[in-house]
Structure 1
Amino acid sequence: MARELVDDELWEIVRPLLPPPPPHKSPAGRKRLDERRVFTGIIFVLQTGLPWELLPREMRCGSGMTCWRRARDWQKAGVWDKLHRALLAKLRHADRIDFSRVIADSSSVRAVHGGKKTGPNPTDRRKAGSKHHLVVDGNGTPLNVILTAANRHDSTQLMPLLDGVPPIGGRRGRPLQRPLRVQADRGYDCERYRRILQQRRICPQIGKRGAGHGSHLGVTRWVVERTIAWLHQFRRLRVRYERREDMHEGFLRLGCAIICWKTLSKAWRDPFPFPFC
């Protein structure tokens, strides 16, 4: 028997976050497709990278257009952002958030159909592409993700990444908002941002351009590269197929939420969780 893509525990977290369905125009109209089935279809497209119209009928998730419309509406309603914040709070409750440091990095992907937030990729012969900017905690848990054109410099997104990290609750007292340190490679080297971080009482540990090797940041900064690899295991994120930037941003946020869920489920089942693949 095939494994369920959406288990009962995850669905109990997702279901209260969904907006109420619109009223039927006619009592004799077609019954609205079950939300859990549609959510399963969206997860299937995210993981496999299949076009919406090739969604297998055997999954009983409705047509690909139904799943696309529901994904669009849920992205507009902020469902994926709410799901990500809820899972971050549960991870903190399970003592799986390391806010002693956060690490930023980015990765470029090809945008085969163009669209907004695309640009010439300097690492891919100036073909149209987009860039995924990511910030994670000390354990590699994704905290925030931003989509930009591939020709945007990494340093321009450092402060938006940090400012976009939601307050993480899950325990009594103040939610987590300010990390102790920020780590990044030389692409984020900027004295202006160093001063801003110091004014916020955050220690910047950012590599300097032109300096020799030996900063030793790679010993601890590898977790963000591992999380980027986890994100790109979702085949819909390896290449940007969506012309609409909001749909690709929705997939990015949903991918971060699924990574948080897998980390949380392993923390529940194993006191010494190991990295998943």
Structure 2
Amino acid sequence: MRDEATVSEELWKRLAPLIPVRERRFRYPGRLPVDDRAALEGILWVLRNDVPWRELPTTLFGVSGVTCWRRLRDWAEAGVWQKLHEQLLAECNAAGLLDLHRALIDSSHIHALKGGSETGPSPVNRAHPGSKHHLITDATGVPLATIVTGGNRHDVTQLIPLVEAIPPIRGRRGRPRRRPRYLLADRAYDHVKYRRLLAARGITPAIARRGKPHGSGLGTQRWPVERTIAWLHQFRRLRTRWERRVDIHQAFLSLACSIICLRKLRGSF
């Protein structure tokens, strides 16, 4: 609980300046809005414990689950979660904690029991509705960008979109960096077309070849991205997709990535 409280406090210091200022209504002001800090606590509780919004303990946080859901949605529409992630990446870069020379890429399947956008018949779960988390990290496993797609989308189709999704990473003098020098991936990403697209962007692909025996040696360098996927799944809300709206699920995913970046800053890994 002490670690969670510290993470919440440090997240709030960075999140508060990013929240849009509400327009004040003078003629029909209505009730006072719920405190944003309380809403953040409720959102973190749902992310960590995967409880339905209606079962959020109101007496504990002083805010209803519906209000927390609305804040999560509104802040996602305002780009707050993405800005928070980019700010923490810049802090990691300024502290010399990012290795952007190499990038690692991988994906994971999750169940999507309620369906919705960006879902599809999962090839690993008897064609039940599912989604995929596509993730790209630096060489140490710090998440740089994530994409949510249907469970039936092939991994290689998201290779270039993931590379393009890397934000300009600031924190050091000079032009913000957006491209790694090398990209490491397993054999699911082996395709001549995508190797050429990476090379055209100045990125050298280090991708295991299909049809070749296992033992390429890339696993000794790729394991941090698999560890980060395991960390993401420690947030119980990300193990199963309950949200029909993909933007809500993406907001949870961005928040989890921000927490991992914060742990990196604190020296937790």
Per the shorter chain, which TM-score range?
over 0.9
CA contact (8 A) 2:8 2:41 kept: no
> In structure 2, do the counterparts of structure 1 residues 210 and 48 end up closer, same or farther at CA, with 3 Å as the change threshold?
same
- Matched letter for residue 107 of structure 2: S
Which residue of structure 1 aligns with residue 110 of structure 2?
109
The whole-number CA distance in structure 2 between the counterparts of 1:239 and 1:74 is: 22
Is residue 185 from structure 1 mapped to residue 186 from structure 2 by the alignment? yes
What CA distance in whole angstroms lies between the structure 2 residues aligned with 1:190 and 1:107? Answer: 20
Distance 2:171 2:62 in 1: 33
Shift of the alpha carbon at 1:108?
0.5
Question: Once the 2 structures are TM-superposed, how far is the Cα of residue 4 of structure 1 from its aligned partner?
Answer: 2.1
How far apart are residue 227 of structure 1 and its match? 0.3
TM-score normalized with structure 2 length: 0.95
Mapping of residues 73-92 of structure 1, within 5 Å? 73-92=74-93
**Post-superposition shift, 1:61?**
4.0
Q: Does structure 1 residue 255 correspond to structure 2 residue 256?
A: yes
Corresponding residue number in structure 1 for 2:97: 96
Query: 1:254 deviation in Å?
Result: 1.0
Deviations 1:57-82 (A, max 9, x none): 23224110000111110011110000
Matched residue, 1:35? 36
Deviates more, 1:183-192 or 1:193-202: 193-202
Q: 1:102 to 1:9 in 2, by over 3 A?
A: same
- How many residue pairs are counted as aligned between the two chains? 268
Name the counterpart of 2:5. 4
Letter in 2 for 1:126: A
Cα separation, 1, equivalents of 2:169 and 2:151: 30
The aligned counterpart of 1:144 is: 145
Note if contact 2:139-2:224 (Cα within 8 Å) is conserved in structure 1.
Answer: yes
Name the CA distance, whole Å, in 2 between partners of 1:224 and 1:31.
Answer: 44
Tell me by how many angstroms 1:171 deviates. Answer: 1.1
Deviations 1:205-238 (A, max 9, x none): 0111111112110001011000000001000000
Q: Secondary structure at the match of 1:30?
A: coil
| Residue matched to 1:204 | 205
**Equivalent position of 1:269 in the other structure:** none
- State the match for 1:271 in structure 2: none
Is 2:232–2:238's contact at 8 Å kept on the other side of the alignment? yes
Task: Calculate percent identity across the aligned residue pairs.
Answer: 51
2:232: which partner in 1? 231
Q: What is residue 45 of structure 1 aligned with on the other side?
A: 46
Q: Measure the CA separation in 2 of the matches of 1:79 and 1:110.
A: 27
Secondary structure at 1:140 match in 2: coil
TM superposition score normalised by structure 1? 0.93
Structure 1 range deviating more: 49-58 or 85-94:
49-58
Which secondary structure does the structure 2 equivalent of 1:157 belong to? helix
Distance change in 2, residues 1:62/1:207 (3 Å): same
What amino acid is aligned across from residue 94 of structure 1 in structure 2?
A
Q: What amino acid sits opposite 1:179 in the alignment?
A: P
Q: Secondary structure at the match of 1:90?
A: helix
Cα 1:28/1:184, change in 2 over 3 Å: closer
Cα deviations across residues 181-213 of structure 1 (Å, max 9, x unaligned)?
A: 000001101111111222222110011111111
